[in-house]
Amino acid sequence: MKRLVLLRHGQSQWNLENRFTGWHDVDLTDQGRAEAKQAGALLRDAGILPEAVFTSVLKRAIRTAWIALDELDRLWIPMTKDWHLNERHYGALQGLNKAETAAKYGDEQVHIWRRSFATPPPALEGNDERHPCHDPRYQNLDTEILPGTESLKDTLARVLPYWDTTLAPQLKHYDTLLIAAHGNSLRALVMHLEGLSDDEIMGVEIATGDPLVFELDDQLNVLKRYSLRAES
């Protein structure tokens, strides 16, 4: 039996301010750090000891992994940071307050941008300084693949190949793998693991700092899924 632990980062400063975040590299709040520490304690109390960790290139997820693993005294395990696990890119909405945006565009339009499967928010243009092509962490990537916005479908399209080529093979030689990432990049994995439809995934919300444990058979079929916070 294999264990895959999906951990959304702890509360970020823009979660607290109710801003669209996406690829903006905002840090954790004090509450977010406490959530990450609790996640490590929940894993420890459950006897779930990750042997490797994969995360994004955004500090809220990286720091969550560090804090949780420090609580487990397992900062020594291999850590891979990869943009494929970044949050969904929220385009020109990044930085805007979700309530103010709803007041400007209407609740229905904001709900569509947030929870439709295939409708992306308005895109950032390449000459916008917020576009990823101006960010040094992506400088070695072909600018053609850097998004100016993403729908959940677009996020799935970059996460799933990464699961197939990189993450799933890790479970051939590790029994316990931790993925510390973001609400929508993790929803992409949940959708794949549980065979959810476009409509079903819309109803899935992943809380900050709550370790979701997937018990898998050797063929990576899901045997059991549970939240450690709910079990505590």
Annotated binding site for substrate: 8-15, 21-22, 60, 87-90, 98, 114-115, 183-184
Nearer of residues 90 and 163 to ligand 3PG, judged by Cβ: 90
Measured CA distances, 82 to 72, 118, 158, 181, 201 (Å): 23, 24, 11, 10, 23
CA 187 to centroid of chain Cα atoms: 8
Is 9 tagged catalytic? yes
Backbone angles phi, psi at 54, to 5 degrees: -120, 140
Q: How many CB atoms lie within 10 A of CB 5?
A: 22
Euclidean distance between CA atoms 110 and 153, whole angstroms: 17
Binder of ligand 3PG out of 3, 5, 11, 20 (CB under 6 A): 20
Per CB under 6 A, 184 contacts ligand 3PG: yes
Interaction residues for ligand 3PG, span 23-42 (CB under 6 A): none
Binder of ligand 3PG out of 83, 90, 162, 163 (CB under 6 A): 90
Euclidean distance between CA atoms 71 and 66, whole angstroms: 9
Are 189 and 6 a contacting pair, CB within 8 Å? yes
Binder of ligand 3PG out of 183, 193, 202, 229 (CB under 6 A): 183
Per CB under 6 A, 114 contacts ligand 3PG: yes
Backbone angles phi, psi at 38, to 5 degrees: -65, -35
Question: Which residues belong to the annotated binding site?
Answer: 8-15, 21-22, 60, 87-90, 98, 114-115, 183-184
Binder of ligand 3PG out of 32, 33, 35, 87 (CB under 6 A): 87
Residues that bind ligand 3PG (CB under 6 A): 20-22, 87, 90, 114, 182-184
Active site members: 9, 87
